[in-house]
Structure 1
Amino acid sequence: MLAAAQRLRRSNDFAAAVRGGRRVGRGAVVVHLTLPESTGPTATTSPEPARSSGAEPSAPTRAGFVVSKAVGNAVVRNKVRRRLRHLVRERLDALPAGSTLVVRALPPAAEASYDRLGTDLDAAVAAARAPRGRRSR
């Protein structure tokens, strides 16, 4: 289970990650990854003054899951969600602090094995983290 601070719950958080993040699909999953912006002196939008005592706590890396009815009935959807949650929990520490990850399961995820889901998730996250650039063909 993910810690409460690591879970996406509000639809606004999901929408922001889906709209603003990089989308990469691999096999049975689609990943939307939003990496944190560089934190400079102009990045603060809070009306409160900066605290001078100690370092600021970094924002946690958060994850959310979207498993639609196209994947299967409630039993199948919950099984897929549990598998994805466990896979993401193991990989969350590898992402930069403040990242937001949304994993959307595609219908093939219902029949995919745990290992296959892990492979697809690793490939999608690696592709989303890769720097953007032109591919030569």
Structure 2
Amino acid sequence: MAPPPQRLKCRAEFLRVAKSGRKAAMPGLVLQALPQAEPGPARIGFTVTKKVGNAVIRNRTRRRLKEAARLLLQTRPVGAVDLVLIGRDATRARPFLVLMDDFARALDKVGVA
């Protein structure tokens, strides 16, 4: 079993994934993925822009993304990849199982196994 993903925290890491990574837009989220140069655990970051709403709505959206990623990556581990999940306005209203399906389809689309 793969170790749990670590977190992307600094802006430079997010920008590197956005610049060089592959992107998959789904109705509930946007996924950016960039393979790491060295083997190691996956790293994941979450972001929600101010266009989505006020702080309460953005935090709720981010929590939904975190939980969907946690549950899906337990059953479908990935390794040596940086992932950035971007919340959309539709993320908070989307049924949770459909949101998890969006994340799984996005992983397939960017080629993360």
Q: TM-score range by the shorter chain?
A: 0.7 to 0.9
Structure number with greater Rg is: 1
Shift of 1:77: 1.0
2:44 to 57, 63, 66: 63
Shift of 1:95: 4.6
Equivalent residue, structure 2, for 1:84: 65
- Provide the secondary structure at the position in 2 that maps to 1:112: coil
Count, aligned residues: 108
* Distance in structure 2 (CA, Å) of the matches to 1:86 and 1:103: 12
Equivalent residue, structure 2, for 1:108: 90
Amino acid aligned to 1:84: L
Amino acid aligned to 2:101: T
Where does structure 1 lack aligned partners over 5 or more consecutive residues? 40-57, 131-137
Structure 1 runs of 4+ with >6 Å offset: none
CA offsets 1:27-49 (integer angstroms, 9 cap, x no match) = 12110011234x6xxxxxxxxxx
* Distance in structure 1 (CA, Å) of the matches to 2:106 and 2:71: 15
* Distance in structure 2 (CA, Å) of the matches to 1:20 and 1:96: 19
Root-mean-square deviation (CA, aligned residues, Å) is: 2.0
Structure with bigger strand share is 2
Shift of 1:81: 0.7
**TM-score between the two structures when normalised by the length of structure 1:** 0.70
